Amino acid sequence: MFAKVNSYSNIRKALYYNDQKIKTGQAEIIHAANFIKDAGEMSKKEVLNRFDQRISLNGRTVNPVAHISIGFQPADDITNTQMKILADRYMEGIGFVEQPYLVYRHYDVTLAHMHIVATNIREDGSRINMNNIIFWRSRQVADALADEFSLRKNKRSDINQKAVFEVKEALSIEYGKSPTMRAISDVLNTVVENYKYDNLAELNAAMRTYNLIAYRGKESSHLYKVGGLLYQALDVKGNRIGCPIKASRFFLKPTLKYLEQKFVENKALKEGSRQRVGTAVDWVLAGKSTDWTGFMQSMEREGISVIKQGIKEGKAEEVFFVDHRGKAVFSGESLGSGYSISALQQQMVQRADQEQTVIERHHLRLHL
């Protein structure tokens, strides 16, 4: 028996992940604790309202959601009833016995495992400290339950943890090859929740790497005036394709109002990646990159996508850097005047001129 605990900022992400597994026949909900109704009797709205009500009692906690994965060895042959008992005992052991939580059994890999979605906000608005649980209490409780129920203790090398516990990132959207709504939802869950951006242009730069864009419409449009937001897939040339979908239709609800909260939160969080991105740009420009194609390819090798956007939206073209390792996005101008699209272009031209001068001098020496 092995348990892994993750904490998230948004309850919708954890619920969406498990709901999608249920839709594809890869999971089932087997237990609901501290809800008014049993697991199979509640609508998605009732579940979400229960969690939202509890989480709203504490607006200071950044990550009020616990997403716990518990795996077992194949020889243990765990039934649903046993899983429910173990889930309750585990939650009691880590101090979550009075918290609302849902238990899902997953069938997406051969290893028997369950996912538990909960919140660490108590009924009085205080929060349960997750650090102690993540770093030592969870394993202590899991080992104790394994001893009590004669289960095998899993070591990290015993199971393919990545396959069992990791919520996989989205793939780039290929319009027409998969259901558009699902493909866009996957990208939103990957980018909106995991990348750090502080305005819509930076978010779009990150989403463009997955062939997706968000737009508000023209300033004179009704959509813009009411604060609406649409998401639409992009083709390989970066043009919008298919029907746009309202933000409110997605389970994550990535509306403009929701994103504006993320903009504020992310402003400080992304600063840790600023130096890495700036240094990578300097390093690549000091090399042999004399045009945009070479520059972008070299930056990709550093784990950073270079996105130019603006012209198709009727604005001045800007350059953005999407750091996939640090999950942070910066506009060139936000890094400094030397990183704007015009400044970078000038440096590339100077580099190309220097290369041409060297070549001409070499040819001249050969003919002397």
Tokens of 169: 């990132």
Distance CA 193, CA 130 (A): 19
Residue 167 has pLDDT above 50, yes or no: no
pLDDT at 329: 97
| More confident position, 25 or 278 | 278
Phi then psi dihedrals of residue 97, to 5 deg: -60, -30
Q: Where do we find the tokens 């939802």?
A: 185
3-class SS of residue 108: coil
pLDDT at 166: 42
Q: Which amino acid is at 348?
A: M
For the chain, give the mean pLDDT: 87
pLDDT at 111: 77
User: Where are the domains positioned within the chain?
Assistant: 2-165, 180-267, 273-357
Cβ proximity of 117 and 81 under 8 Å: no
The total number of residues shown for the chain amounts to: 368
Q: Of 11-15, 214-218, 287-291, give the lowest mean pLDDT range.
A: 287-291
Instruction: Give exposure, 140-174, as e/b (b: 16+ Cβ within 10 Å).
Output: ebbbebbeeeebeebeeeebebeebbebeebeebe
pLDDT at 278: 94
- The pLDDT of 181-204, averaged and rounded, is 91
| Terminal CA-CA length for the chain | 78
pLDDT at 354: 64
Distance CA 265, CA 168 (A): 24
pLDDT at 353: 63
pLDDT at 312: 60
Instruction: List own/partner pairs for 276-281 with CB under 8 A and 24 or more apart.
Output: 276/323, 276/325, 276/326, 277/304, 277/321, 277/323, 277/326, 277/328, 277/330, 277/335, 278/335, 278/336, 278/339, 280/304, 281/321, 281/335, 281/339, 281/344
Nearest to 86 by CA among 100, 98, 107, 69: 69
Helices (H), the chain: 11-23, 44-55, 80-93, 130-132, 138-148, 161-165, 180-194, 200-208, 222-225, 256-269, 274-285, 292-301, 332-335, 341-366
pLDDT tens-digit readout, 64-103 = 999 999 998 877 888 999 999 999 999 999 999 999 999 9
Q: Where do we find the tokens 């897939």?
A: 233
Residue 104 has pLDDT above 90, yes or no: yes
pLDDT confidence tier of residue 183, bands split at 50, 70 and 90 = confident
Instruction: Quote the pTM value.
Output: 0.59
pLDDT tens-digit readout, 209-265 = 999 999 999 899 999 999 999 999 999 999 999 999 999 888 788 999 999 999 999
3-class SS of residue 240: strand
How many C-beta atoms lie closer than 10 Å to residue 37's C-beta? 12
Q: Of 69-78, 126-135, 297-306, give the lowest mean pLDDT range.
A: 69-78
Cβ proximity of 104 and 29 under 8 Å: yes
| More confident position, 290 or 293 | 293
**Which CATH architecture is the domain 2-165 placed in?**
2-Layer Sandwich (3.30)
% of the chain residues with pLDDT over 70: 88
Residue 110 has pLDDT above 50, yes or no: yes
3-class SS of residue 344: helix
Q: Calculate the alpha carbon distances from 108 to 83, 198, 326 in Å.
A: 16, 36, 29
Nearest to 11 by CA among 42, 53, 41, 43: 53
Q: Which amino acid is at 340?
A: S
Distance CA 155, CA 18 (A): 25
